[in-house]
Homo-oligomer: A and B are copies of this chain.
Amino acid sequence: MELGDSGLTIAVNAVMSLTAFFLCLNIIPKFKEMFLKANLCGIDLNKENKNKIPEALGVVCGAVFLCTMFLFMPMPFYKQLADNTPGKFPHHEYIHYLAALLSICCMVFLGFADDVLDLRWRHKLLLPTFASLPLLTVYFININATNVIMPKQLRWLLGFDLNLGPLYYLYMGMLAVFCTNAINIHSGVNGLEVGQSCVISLSVLIFNFTEMQGEHRMGHVFSIYFMMPFLAVSTALLFHNWYPSRVFVGDTYCYFSGMTFAVVGILSHFSKTMLLFFIPQVINFIYSIPQLFHFVPCPRHRLPRLNPELGKLDASYTVYKTGSLNKMGQIFVKLFSLFRLISVKEGVGENGLYTQVNNFTLNNFILRTFGPLHEQTLVIILLAIQIICSGVAFIIRYQLAKIFYDS
């Protein structure tokens, strides 16, 4: 396939993405009633009114994305399909599309099942692993590059590259689980889940278009085919999910989004650069560890708390009896407060001394430092951080990498 061909199919993809955008923009409000009737709804805890807001509308995006891709899939192969000489069809390329969509479809399905049924943690970790199996098999068949090139400074010790073998597959399997859950826990404010996904997909698209003339052109073109419709349906959803939200996106959207990024990163073979676009999510994940692993009590919702008098958001706190933390919990609280990463307050309650610390999320960290903030201001700050981090990611990828690798 020559570049001219890719240009044409990218244009077709762009037109289809635009159609998908308008379709989503138009049908999402129409589905609201259906979701409310099915009791798929929640109350926005950061608002004074307690209206029911339809939940899990990400499933509409996911369905439109899948349909768009089903229609688009034959396009990159239109010449070979028109020709249709037996044995000439590039099955090894087509297989990428099928495996990618199979994994994404599984995750949209799983996310929706989670929103409806409230699945347990073991299902949430087990099923994405199964869903990434076809992906890893196709990677094994077609690419099977499991070596990591070493930085110049370490080559005297470890050689030019290090073959990770099965460990590399473990890494890729974990990438899928990480991406889906990382977006899911960096949430809780209107528009944040979709907003961050839009920034990430836009960054990936910039990266793909930059690299399109390079060595791994086909991978980047493949990524563009997925990222454009994804950005399109996400932007349409963001419109309805922006402050004040008329719809919620649900776990469905987070799973859909995370898996799409993982799929593209793995099959286009730029998973490390993909991770660079996840800097805020990685920071939020590391910051969350004490609560995620229950060293510090983790309430069901860690989202900020509405201050009704100001109409602004404050950091939310978790409360525990002073001295009741286990050893690890104590170390984390000491360490984090030493570096001023958390606010610790002590007080006397009915049952004696208690301690409260802000919940360990990026949202609460920002509110603790700059708050109280209006919800819309907070989400704009968080998305600005996401954009700045994408800038940093590009600097790392293109400038810093020169120090460690040959151009």
| A residues neighboring B (CB under 8 Å) | 31, 34-35, 37-40, 59, 63, 66-67, 70-71, 73-74, 81, 84, 89, 91-92, 94-95, 98-99, 101-102, 105-106, 108-109, 112-113, 116-119, 127, 130-131, 133-134, 137-138, 140-142, 144
B40/A116 in contact, CB under 8 A: yes
- Residues on B with beta carbons closer than 8 Å to the beta carbon of A119: 34
- Residues on B with beta carbons closer than 8 Å to the beta carbon of A40: 116-117
Given contacts A102-B98, A102-B101, A140-B81, contact A118 B37 (CB under 8 A): yes
A38/B116 in contact, CB under 8 A: yes
A59/B106 in contact, CB under 8 A: no
Query: What would be 6 A-B contacts, judged by CB atoms less than 8 Å apart?
Result: A38-B118, A81-B140, A89-B92, A91-B95, A98-B102, A98-B138
Bound-state CA distance A98–B59 (Å) is 22
A66/B130 in contact, CB under 8 A: yes
Bound-state CA distance A282–B141 (Å) is 42
If A81-B140, A112-B116 are given as contacts, then 5 extra A-B residue pairs at C-beta distance below 8 Å, sorted by A number, are A34-B118, A40-B116, A89-B141, A98-B138, A109-B109
Bound-state CA distance A84–B84 (Å) is 27
Task: Indicate how many identical chains form the complex.
Answer: 2
Bound-state CA distance A355–B137 (Å) is 62
- Residues on B with beta carbons closer than 8 Å to the beta carbon of A118: 34, 37-38
A331 to chain B, nearest CB (A): 37
A73 to chain B, nearest CB (A): 7
B106/A66 in contact, CB under 8 A: yes
A23 to chain B, nearest CB (A): 12
Given contacts A95-B94, A98-B102, A117-B34, contact A71 B112 (CB under 8 A): no
